[in-house]
Chain A
Amino acid sequence: MTAVTDLDDAEDELRVLLERAVPQLPAPAQRLERVRMRMRRRRRRRTAAVTVSAVLAVAAVVAVPGLVRPQGGGSAPAVVATSGHAVVATTPAGGAKTNGPGTTPPSAGGYRPAGMEGLRLRPPKGWKVLPDPDTDSVFLSSQSLVLPEGGCAHALDGFCTPLARVLASDGVLVMFHLTQSSAQAQKFSGFALPLEDEVPYSACLAVTGTRQMGRTMVGSAGSGTVVWAVACLSHPSAAQTARVRDLIGSADFG
């Protein structure tokens, strides 16, 4: 019997095996209704993201002196948005300015990035925040953030690193990534998963990260929302590590 025939036989066997062994799963009664809900959620997220980006862009144009040059003078403005995604900075420590252009409003209630199903964050003062509605993610860093050309959809290890420069010593990048998965949500609901040290991904090592921490969080009951938080740190000090722990540990859907 030739090798070709053997291969054909093996392929035919596999076809039969698959047809027989792949189970006939029951369809949930409300499948279409659930699909409709997911679709609405996607639309809401996109609309919210576009609205926030537009508001921030308008606010930046109106309020940043460098952006409005009525007499043609003034220096070139700093880049505040890329591809429609605004990079916002949190209020620096001790700073008097609040609600300025591109500034995350500091409030006791925390910061709720658009399109993240109500996820509430409390970014450390002076950190940069970059929401990316295209990938249902929000990035926070002690350094400048900018989305890579082509976006974050095909990031290595699923961990996008939209840093303007690689991490400096004591630099940190944190990603919160939202996924709709009722199976995962069901599995993890009812108990708080801890923030754990992880083996750094290649994506983290590539930006000179030396340490990685991660935590999985579940949204409100029945929402099917799961958020994965991952932090990449480069030679972190104890204080920086504590900030990351606070940021990820205090994230909630309250």
Chain B
Amino acid sequence: MGEGGFEQFVAARGQRLLRVAWLLTGDAHLAEDLLQTVLAKVWPKWHRIAEENPEAYVRRALVHTHASWWRRRWRGEVPHGDLPDRALPQDAYAGVDLEQALAAAVRALPVRQRAVVVLRYFEDLSVTETAEALGCSEGTVKSQAAKALRTLRGLLPAAVTVDGGDCRD
């Protein structure tokens, strides 16, 4: 698979990967930045990556690149909690509230727990696959996931609902 394969991959999986990046960063601009940074790293090695599991590779790169950003300066940068003004139909506000609440909750998680949440619960990887992607033990994944769940339960407001039910119970 050459450059064309890369473009097809980005066209097909870009949206999903951007959502992964959003969940890691909690911010739309940073998410696009993170994704572009990773794609620029991946592209030159595409011929090799494409023969294996490119999506898993890119996902792993997203998590690790985000962790390195976190270690550097940008963890001090807290994007503004409010979304910019934009025209929305009345019934769309519930979605925006949910998005804001989730972004704030995710940003409150330590970087490792955030990565576990993304891989385990958004990307639906198994404990083994998550441990492999993060380079840690399965026990660590389980404990980090449990802590993240506890934190998220505490942070997500009771008003946040899933299919009409309270997500806290």
Contacts and interface: CB of A to CB of B under 8 A. Distances in A.
Contact of A39 (B23, B32, B44, B145): B44
Interface string A3-45: 0000100110111111111111101100110111011001100
Contact of B146 (A7, A28, A158, A184): A7
A17 B98 CA distance: 9
Contact of B43 (A17, A35, A183): A35
Greatest chain A CB density within 10 A among B36, B120, B149 is at: B36
B71 interface: yes
Contacts of B132: none
Interface stretch (A56-64, A91-99, A174-182): A174-182
A22 B72 contact: no
B90 interface: no
Contacts of A157: 71
A219 to B, nearest CB: 15
Interface stretch (B10-18, B47-55, B133-141): B10-18
Contact of A32 (B7, B22, B146): B7
- The binding surface of chain B is classed by DSSP as helix
Interface of A: 7, 10-11, 13-25, 27-28, 31-32, 34-36, 38-39, 42-43, 153-155, 157-158, 177, 179-184, 186, 216, 228
B102 A14 contact: no
Contact of A31 (B36, B73, B102, B121): B36
B37 interface: yes
B19 A158 contact: no
A179 B32 contact: no
Interface in B115-169: 117, 120-122, 124, 145-146, 149, 152-153, 156, 160, 162-163, 167
A21 B71 contact: no
Contacts of B117: 14, 18
